[in-house]
């Protein structure tokens, strides 16, 4: 039988120890940092005088297989901290000593297998023979404790599964993921760049990438307006005192840039849009008749992320959220959450994602100091979100302790074309900020009451969502999202003017068109347009011009000869207006 997830986590963590054992044996002088299990695999960080190269991985794997075949027993040994300190000091394990010094307990555990010993909480499998099929996949640099001011360590990643079939499937997925890497495709297709002159994690949208972004934004704006949202704009910076009132300065400090001084007052680049939306709500007293008030913004925020975790469009320092905040009476909170879920499902379907997983993130009452608000409010809020999911018959898992500091949340994680999971929609219940900002509305009886608030982001960040789209479609966007929808290729210079006239007519019909008038062979032009992943090519030769017809070549290789222009335009416009994910031609 396949192993359960907890068994896999234990097995993967054990595999990291075996990898460390192999590395220490093969490369004398190696010092150890940490080696956790992660999704699908494991890694270990090393301080090693040898610079690892890809050719080292097979050597390490072979030594690991010898250790696995030996079925070395994992033994847990508990030692007093003082004794542990002496052992680590004699071994020169300075990084482990730093970890030891941060442990409050009087004792710590070591796990020993064969000649190898490592300070670790565990647990581990019974013996190394229980470690399933594995593969070392990559080498990377990693700052010690994620701090770029600390030493750069070397990290080796691996994957491990219960069966060889699962491992093989995962390795094929990794190869496919490399081909779909949004950073590689973004450069090849001229969609975006990140330049050292602007700084890490700050995205420059190129014209073609901006066309895709505008198509996404246009859909969001039109759909949100149809669903009763009002659009607003807010600043990129505010006085630090605003973030102190909201609680972000306390609970979100590590993700905020340092304040800047303006006329002796501290100002903060905004990490969130919500306090601004609250101020708009609070600018006047509202009646119950005006609620719910749904405020939406494509708001750019700035969050400090360590350089070691930045990753293309998927982890950045400046990004635009499709953000909205709903202010409503307590009795309508469930219907508003339901409306957000309906909007989320519509977004997933529109952009071509049929599979998803849902998580309900709750607070951890044992760590109440990490959250704002009373226990009774938390329980009521969590119950409301759970009720809506159950009413919709949506399966979900509970993630205790993963709520935002101000309230519980529902997260949608989409499953892409090659089976990977991505965090997307978040719907968050907030009873804390209305209290902190003393928000009110006039109820039907004339008394003043406190509104509830819902934070809602459908696509999360436009940057991250764009990266996900690139990888999901491998750069082959559906027609309505493609930066160039039609490319006109001429056979000779004689077709240049007819091609320009055709381009003008197609542009007037609302299509995004480019011309290729280069004095190149048409085969080379078709190849280049295919590499650019253009969905529709029109090949214009003398016979086509004379007959007033078009030769259309599609991205999938099909070619349609002698097609009327009005027929092509009508079908393409229909495909775009309906946002079809497959070709109408």
Question: Looking at domain 486-577, which of 3.30.70.1400, 3.40.50.800, 3.40.50.2300, 3.30.1360.200 is its CATH number?
Answer: 3.40.50.800
Catalytic-role residue among 40, 45, 118, 323: 323
pLDDT at 381: 83
In DSSP terms, which residues pair with 400 in a beta bridge?
362
Any residues with CB less than 8 A from the CB of 216 and at least 6 apart, and which?
Answer: 351, 459, 462, 465, 466, 481
The single residue of 13, 277, 409, 464 carrying the catalytic annotation is: 409
Query: What pLDDT does residue 142 have?
Result: 87
321 tagged catalytic: yes
pLDDT value of position 2:
39
Which pLDDT score is estimated for 3?
41
- Bridge partners, residue 135, by sequence: 159
Q: Of residues 325, 420, 456, 512, which has the active-site annotation?
A: 325
SS (H, E, C) 388-406: HHHHCCCCCEEEECCCECC
Among 211, 303, 317, 553, the one annotated catalytic: 303
Burial of 539-554, coded b for 16+ CB within 10 Å and e otherwise, reads: bbbeebbeeebbbbbe
Sequence ranges of the domains in the chain: 5-174, 188-352+433-473, 486-577
**325 is an active site residue:** yes
Q: With a cut of 50, list the residues of the chain below it in pLDDT.
A: 1-5
Is-catalytic flag, 286? no
The CA distance from 294 to 299, in Å, is: 15
Measure the CA–CA gap between 274 and 98, rounded to whole angstroms: 39
Widest CA span of the chain, in angstroms? 92
Catalytic residue among 321, 382, 428, 485: 321
Check: pTM over 0.75? Answer yes or no: yes
277 carries an active-site annotation: no
Q: CB-based contacts of 571: which residues, under 8 Å, 6+ apart?
A: 584, 585
pLDDT at residue number 45: 96
Integer Cα distance of 533 and 518 in angstroms: 18
Q: Where are the alpha helices (DSSP H) in 70-203?
A: 81-90, 94-101, 164-180, 182-188
Q: Decide if 189 contacts 181 (C-beta within 8 A).
A: no
- Report the pLDDT value the prediction gives residue 357, as an integer from 0 to 100: 93
Quickly list DSSP for 274-323.
HHHHHHHHHTS-EEGGG-SEEEEEEEEEE----GGG-BTTTB-SEEEEEE
Question: Residue 529 phi/psi, 5° resolution?
Answer: -65, -35
- Residue of 67, 37, 70 lying closest to 160 (CA atoms): 37
Q: What pLDDT is attached to residue 584?
A: 67
Domain 188-352+433-473 carries which CATH code?
3.30.930.10
Residue 323 catalytic?
yes
Query: Which of the following is catalytic: 120, 274, 328, 340?
Result: 274
- Residue 274 is among the residues annotated as catalytic for this protein: yes
What is the structure's pLDDT at 150?
86
β strands within 441-481, DSSP E: 441-442, 448-449, 452-461
486-577 shares the fold of 5-174: no
573 tagged catalytic:
no
CATH topology of domain 5-174: 3.30.980
């Amino acid at each position: 039988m396949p192993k359960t997830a907890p068994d896999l986590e234990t097995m993967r963590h054990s595999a990291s120890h075996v990898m460390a054992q192999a590395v220490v044996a093969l490369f004398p002088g190696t010092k150890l940092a940490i080696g956790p299990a992660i999704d699908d695999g494991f890694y270990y960080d090393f301080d090693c005088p040898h610079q690892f190269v890809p050719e080292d991985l097979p050597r390490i794997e072979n030594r690991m297989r010898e250790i696995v075949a030996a079925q070395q027993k994992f033994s847990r040994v508990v030692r007093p901290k003082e004794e542990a300190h002496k052992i680590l000091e004699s071994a020169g394990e300075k990084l482990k000593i730093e970890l030891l010094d941060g442990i409050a307990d009087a004792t710590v555990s070591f796990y020993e297998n064969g000649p190898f010993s490592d300070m670790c909480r565990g647990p581990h499998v019974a013996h190394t023979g229980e470690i399933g099929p594995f593969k070392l996949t990559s080498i990377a640099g990693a700052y010690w404790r994620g701090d770029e001011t600390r030493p750069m360590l070397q990290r080796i990643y691996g994957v491990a599964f219960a069966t060889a079939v699962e491992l093989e499937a995962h390795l094929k997925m990794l190869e496919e993921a490399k081909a779909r890497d949004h950073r590689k495709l973004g450069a090849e297709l001229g969609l975006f760049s990140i330049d050292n002159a602007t700084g890490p994690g700050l995205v420059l949208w190129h014209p073609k990438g901006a066309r895709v972004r505008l198509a996404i934004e246009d859909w969001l704006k039109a759909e949100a307006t149809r669903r009763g949202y009002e659009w607003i704009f807010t600043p990129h910076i505010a006085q630090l005192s605003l973030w102190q009132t909201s609680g972000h300065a306390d609970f979100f400090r590590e993700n905020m840039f340092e304040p800047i001084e303006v006329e002796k007052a501290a100002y903060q680049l905004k990490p969130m849009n919500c306090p601004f939306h609250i101020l708009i709500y609070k600018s006047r007293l509202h009646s119950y008749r005006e609620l719910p008030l749904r405020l939406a913004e494509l708001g750019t925020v700035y969050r400090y992320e360590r350089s070691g975790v930045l990753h293309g469009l998927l982890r950045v320092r400046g990004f635009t959220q499709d953000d909205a905040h709903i202010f409503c009476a307590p009795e309508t909170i469930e219907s508003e959450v339901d409306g957000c879920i309906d909007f989320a499902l519509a977004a997933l379907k529109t952009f071509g994602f049929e599979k998803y997983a849902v998580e309900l993130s709750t607070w951890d009452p044992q760590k109440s100091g990490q959250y704002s608000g009373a226990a009774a409010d938390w329980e009521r809020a969590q119950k409301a979100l759970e009720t809506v999911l159950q009413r919709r018959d949506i399966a979900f898992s509970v993630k205790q302790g993963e709520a935002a500091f101000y309230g519980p949340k529902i997260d949608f994680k989409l499953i892409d074309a090659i089976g990977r999971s991505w965090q997307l929609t978040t719907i968050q219940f907030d009873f804390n900020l209305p209290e902190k900002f003393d928000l009110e509305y006039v109820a039907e009886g004339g008394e003043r009451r406190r509104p509830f608030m819902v934070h809602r982001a459908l696509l999360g960040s436009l940057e991250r969502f764009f990266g996900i789209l690139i990888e999901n479609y491998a750069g082959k966007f559906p027609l309505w999202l493609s930066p160039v929808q039609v490319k006109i290729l001429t056979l000779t210079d004689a077709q240049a003017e007819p091609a320009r006239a055709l381009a003008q007519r197609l542009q007037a019909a609302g299509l995004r068109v480019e011309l290729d008038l280069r004095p190149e062979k048409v085969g080379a032009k078709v190849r280049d347009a295919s590499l650019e992943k253009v969905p529709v090519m029109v090949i214009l030769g003398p016979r086509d011009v004379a007959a007033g017809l078009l030769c259309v070549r599609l991205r999938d290789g099909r070619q349609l000869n002698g097609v009327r222009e009005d027929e092509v335009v009508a079908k393409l416009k229909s495909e775009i207006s309906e946002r079809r994910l497959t070709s109408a031609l």
